[in-house]
Copies of this chain bind each other. A is one copy, B any other.
């Protein structure tokens, strides 16, 4: 058995190396590359991507997988070897079903679409984007067809980001969640006493925001010997192996939440990657098991920790030292409410915790309808605006702040959005279990002690990388499947207290 696994690992290591090199090229492109490098960089990324794809779908890898499968036997066994072969086989089989002519066409179309979308958004003109979006939707419908039979045409897309998850399951959970979340947001907006958020809308020096963020994530346990932070227009996390996991952030000099909560969010992603067992290095198991589980980690550190009262009991005195003029006369209670103010808004990435998932569910419903053929590209602005009014009570004044706001569709990323909401749900499910296992968690956080929490996550989630599928992992940890109830309990409790709602 050792021989066939070793052979497979050698080939997978090479695929991983090329993948990491591509990630470095992307990271550099976003952080430090001068504008003149764009054209040649695009060629470099294209060439390496093609090589990675060719190698990952080569007959040699196929034969190595077959040999390893024969040696390993039961791929469902929970051994590292079985799961490595299982995941490799699963990815290989999926990738082999997609003709290279489709891949070429998809890459060509999305490269063009990205520029078209950027211009359409800038000019707030959906009509410029419509025809290429139609093409992308058409390509995505074709993509689904490569995986027939399926329960739902959205299943193959969702599966790329959330392995094993079915559209029907997400639908069922979201349909239970949505009316209750809408009702909560409605109840909050009924409360006459509004939260005053002027404290977080002041001049906040960027360098001090940066330093405070670094102080927090160091306390969390982000390992700067195996990572770093830089600035970009859009924050992201990337990794070039388990030993080099990088985050980026951005700042708004007049709005506190943007910079610090970006840093905390990305650090949550990064600590997941840093926590994967070193033995999985350069294999497909080195990395988070799904975008949903990833988002559960980033949202946990950002929100369940970073927007909690115990956290600010510990860190507000420190923050005041960075901004004595701005916050000297603001007490921790007022500050806590300010950062948690609920207000239906147009842009998902700026949404508060109580309204965030409504933005995501809206996109999920639209995307599934697109795949079902019930909605066409031309109808998107209307569908979008109608749902925004229904769920959030507001209508975008223009398409730039509506249907054109997110980059995802231009990149062909249909099937991706639900993972943002799944992350919130899973974070709350894990949190209830964590609170059982660490009864004095709040007190620990109040004293800026995070090692027990991080240790729990390492032990139960991070170390496994992609060894277990997301729902399998959740089941192993919590004993139950995906559920919206813990999340609803969390929202009701937190915002009930902030807004003085009846329980």
Among B37, B48, B228, which residue has its beta carbon within 8 angstroms of that of A240?
Answer: B37
Let me know if A225 is at the binding interface, CB within 8 A: yes
Among B41, B47, B227, which residue has its beta carbon within 8 angstroms of that of A244?
Answer: B41
Q: Do B41 and A226 touch across chains, with their CB atoms under 8 A apart?
A: no
Q: Which residue of B lies closest to A223 (CB)?
A: B36
Q: Do A43 and B13 touch across chains, with their CB atoms under 8 A apart?
A: yes
Q: Do A21 and B44 touch across chains, with their CB atoms under 8 A apart?
A: yes
Let me know if A14 is at the binding interface, CB within 8 A: yes
> CA of A36 to CA of B230 in the docked complex: distance in angstroms?
17
> CA of A225 to CA of B25 in the docked complex: distance in angstroms?
18
Let me know if A39 is at the binding interface, CB within 8 A: yes
Let me know if A243 is at the binding interface, CB within 8 A: yes
Let me know if A438 is at the binding interface, CB within 8 A: no
Q: Which residue of B lies closest to A23 (CB)?
A: B44
Chain B residues within an 8 Å CB radius of A242 = 40
Shortest distance between the CB of A279 and any CB in chain B (Å): 13
Q: How many copies does the complex hold?
A: 2
> CA of A229 to CA of B78 in the docked complex: distance in angstroms?
50
Q: Mark A58-89, 1 if CB is under 8 A from B, else 0.
A: 00000000000000000000000000000000
Which applies to chain A's interface (DSSP): helix, strand, loop or mixed? Answer: helix
Chain B residues within an 8 Å CB radius of A243 = 34, 36-40
> CA of A41 to CA of B27 in the docked complex: distance in angstroms?
15
Let me know if A150 is at the binding interface, CB within 8 A: no
Known: A17-B43, A24-B25, A48-B21. A37 touches B282 (CB 8 A): no
Pick the most buried of A20, A21, A240, A281: most chain B CB atoms within 10 A of its CB: A21
Let me know if A51 is at the binding interface, CB within 8 A: yes
Spell out A's residues near B (CB within 8 Å). 13-14, 17-18, 20-22, 24-25, 28, 32-41, 43-44, 46-48, 51, 223-228, 230, 240-244, 281-282
Besides the known contacts A35-B226, A36-B226, A44-B241, 4 further A-B residue pairs in the complex with CB atoms under 8 A apart: A34-B224, A35-B225, A37-B226, A51-B51
Top 7 A-B residue pairs of the complex, sorted by shortest distance between their CB atoms:
A37-B244, A40-B241, A36-B226, A36-B243, A17-B47, A17-B44, A36-B225
